[in-house]
């Protein structure tokens, strides 16, 4: 057995430096503008597609890393640049994860490229799971899917909430109920192809942060999709439902499998924001003069910065562990996916708040980016499962008790 090492290999270092360069040269200079405009930064997406940073090929390459670290490394660097623009680039990955979680090989081949478009015409995709009355409560979903055997089509009706790229997406991946009596076990995933009638999104959500990323409700009114758009196919669905009706283990629920697989990525997003705020505050403290000396020479400031750095590094290590486990099919016996997302999210909120405090009044203004970073960071404790839900997952995993 080889020696244990946490040193990145040459490919991972090259990836980190390449994405960092794009984040520094393209993302950061555009961050404030797109935050103020509250619009999808299509010019940045096109630039990323042009150099191969946004697209199926790059995502597939990152997924192929046997260590599992390439995706969180690239994600951290993008979100170090800016969280709103980072999410506009990475949001499509959640829909792709939904297809990967339940789809058959031919479905992956057909729909994943459609999620991204191409260099000349880049597109985005949306994963539609949460609903107005059911966010983390997956069993509470009400959007229905009914099979029409006469036309070999599924008919979808319902409303989805908080969908990243909802309404502007080329492809929507929708979780819907096919057997209400089975709760979460009676659900399935569907691809809604481009231009499908009945899908609408009247207005986007105006948000506290992540303003460069489009978020919207999605309405499905007699949306008809071909039978081949059922992820996993009808035969697999019927077999899974039959096992569930007999009280047998029916397999992992699609939406939950998607969330669990992407939690280390969300953790990496949070680490990137926390690191950006910490680096900015550290540089400011080394330059800012007060009472005849640099403020970093005061223990209260220096210790604060030291504590933040410790927490960021700890969060990153949890993210890397979960990413490695997920890539190598090591079971999350202690809720390690939720653990890393919980830690990184709360570190991001705390680190950005401390950065504002280090800058004092200046940090509260839009003249400095830590104000925007603080607004962006809060989302990490909410989306893809709140911090409370992550604690619930970890508590159940370590206790074996159905904690409620």
Q: What is the per-residue pLDDT across 301-316, written as a single tens digit (0 to 9) for each?
A: 999 999 999 999 999 9
pLDDT attached to residue 173? 98
Mean pLDDT of 226-245: 94
pLDDT attached to residue 112? 95
* pLDDT-derived band at 138, boundaries 50, 70, 90: confident
Q: Give the CATH H-level superfamily of domain 8-120.
A: Acyl-CoA dehydrogenase/oxidase, N-terminal domain (1.10.540.10)
* pLDDT-derived band at 257, boundaries 50, 70, 90: low
Task: Render pLDDT for 342-392 as a digit per residue (tens, 0 to 9).
Answer: 999 999 999 999 999 999 999 999 999 999 999 999 999 998 889 999 999
Of the chain, the percentage scoring pLDDT greater than 90 comes to 88
* pLDDT-derived band at 5, boundaries 50, 70, 90: confident
Of the chain, the percentage scoring pLDDT greater than 70 comes to 96
Residue of 77, 311, 384, 388 marked active site: 384
Q: What is the pTM of this model?
A: 0.93
What architecture does CATH give domain 123-244?
Beta Barrel (2.40)
pLDDT attached to residue 135? 66
- 177 versus 184: which is more confidently predicted? 177
Indicate the domain borders of the chain. Answer: 8-120, 123-244, 252-397
Q: Catalytic annotation on 384?
A: yes
Fold match between domain 8-120 and domain 123-244:
no
pLDDT attached to residue 3? 61
Please provide the size of the chain in residues. 404
Mean pLDDT of 259-276: 90
Say whether pLDDT at 196 is over 90.
Answer: yes
Task: Render pLDDT for 314-337 as a digit per residue (tens, 0 to 9).
Answer: 999 999 999 999 999 999 999 999
Task: Render pLDDT for 334-349 as a digit per residue (tens, 0 to 9).
Answer: 999 999 999 999 999 9
**What spatial distance separates the first Cα and last Cα of the chain, rounded to whole Å?**
43
Question: Residue 141: which residues within 8 A CB-CB, separation 6 or more?
Answer: 129, 131, 134, 158, 175, 176, 177, 184, 187, 255
Question: How far is residue 329 CA from its own chain's centroid?
Answer: 20
* 199 close to 218: Cβ distance less than 8 angstroms: yes
CATH topology of domain 252-397: Butyryl-CoA Dehydrogenase, subunit A; domain 3 (1.20.140)
Say whether pLDDT at 1 is over 50.
Answer: no
Lowest mean pLDDT among 79-88, 210-219, 324-333, 356-365: 324-333
Task: Render pLDDT for 14-72 as a digit per residue (tens, 0 to 9).
Answer: 999 999 999 999 999 999 999 999 999 999 999 999 999 999 999 889 988 999 999 99
pLDDT attached to residue 6? 86
As to burial, measured by CB atoms within 10 angstroms (0-12 exposed, 13-18 middle, 19+ buried), residue 396 is: middle
Q: What is the mean pLDDT of the chain?
A: 94
């Amino acid at each position: 057995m080889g020696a244990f090492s946490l040193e990145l290999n040459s490919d991972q270092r090259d990836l980190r430096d390449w994405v960092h360069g794009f984040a520094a040269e393209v993302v950061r200079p555009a961050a404030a503008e797109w935050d103020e405009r509250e619009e999808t930064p299509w010019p940045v997406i096109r630039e990323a597609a042009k150099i191969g940073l946004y697209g199926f090929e790059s995502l597939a390459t990152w997924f192929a890393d046997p260590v599992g670290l390439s995706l969180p490394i690239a994600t951290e660097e993008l979100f170090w640049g800016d969280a709103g623009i980072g999410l506009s680039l990475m949001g499509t990955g959640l829909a792709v994860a939904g297809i990967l979680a339940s789809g058959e090989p031919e479905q992956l081949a057909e729909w994943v490229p459609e999620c991204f478009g191409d260099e000349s015409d880049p597109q985005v995709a949306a994963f539609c799971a949460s609903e107005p009355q059911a966010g983390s409560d997956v069993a509470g979903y009400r959007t229905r899917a009914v099979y029409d055997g006469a036309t070999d089509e599924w008919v979808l009706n319902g409303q989805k909430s908080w969908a990243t790229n909802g309404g502007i997406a080329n492809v929507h991946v929708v979780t819907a109920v096919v057997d209400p009596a089975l709760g979460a076990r009676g659900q399935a995933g569907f691809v809604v192809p481009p231009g499908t009638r009945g899908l609408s999104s009247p207005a986007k959500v105006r948000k506290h942060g992540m303003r460069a990323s489009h978020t919207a409700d999605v309405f499905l009114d007699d949306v008809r999709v071909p039978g081949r758009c059922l992820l996993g196919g009808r035969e697999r669905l019927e077999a899974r439902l039959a096992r569930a009706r007999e009280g047998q283990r029916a397999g992992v629920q699609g939406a939950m499998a998607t969330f669990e697989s992407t939690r280390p990525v969300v953790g990496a997003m949070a680490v990137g924001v926390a690191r950006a705020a910490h680096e900015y505050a550290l540089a400011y403290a080394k330059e800012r003069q007060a009472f005849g000396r640099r403020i970093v020479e005061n223990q209260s400031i220096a210790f604060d910065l030291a504590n933040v750095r410790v927490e960021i590094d700890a969060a990153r290590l949890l993210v890397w562990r979960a990413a490695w486990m997920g890539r190598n099919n090591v079971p999350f016996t202690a809720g390690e996916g939720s653990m890393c997302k919980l830690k990184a999210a709360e570190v991001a909120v705390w680190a950005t708040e401390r950065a504002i405090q280090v800058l004092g009044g200046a940090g509260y203004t839009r003249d400095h980016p830590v104000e925007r970073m603080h607004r962006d960071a809060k989302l990490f404790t909410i989306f893809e499962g709140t911090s409370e839900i992550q604690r619930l997952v970890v508590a159940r995993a370590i206790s074996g008790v159905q904690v409620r």
